[in-house]
Structure 1
Amino acid sequence: SAHEFFWFFFAVLGTVLLTDVGKVYLAHRLRKMVTLQWQRVMHVVVGVALIVFGARMIVKMLA
């Protein structure tokens, strides 16, 4: 019914709003902890992880 759809839609919008507010809060807290050195380390870690998983996918595809 229309009443149930309204509450479902309201719940979905509320969940999205709360999630976005939480992301903003955590991003603000994380900004204080992030340094240039930390960013460089994370770029290397993420880069290595992407290379490893990409190579694994290629090997699985060719095998």
Structure 2
Amino acid sequence: MNAQRAKEIYESSDNISVQLDGEESVWIENVDVPNGVATVQVGTNPMNTQTVGVERLKERD
């Protein structure tokens, strides 16, 4: 995914499913478009956050 799409998902009022590395479900918490990274919550634990390159994120069909 690109940074602009990650930002659109983050700002959307819709519930859009996103996966990290095609495996774990994540919630996008913040997107740094110029640097191409996003802070995501992995799974349901709000304490489990990671900053990852947006290319590792994939929108689920």
Max Rg structure: 1
Q: Which has the higher contact order (CA 8 A, sep 6+)?
A: 2
TM-score tier (shorter): under 0.3
Q: TM-score, normalised by structure 1?
A: 0.19
Q: Which has more helix, going by share of residues?
A: 1
Q: TM-score, normalised by structure 2?
A: 0.19
Q: Which has more strand, going by share of residues?
A: 2
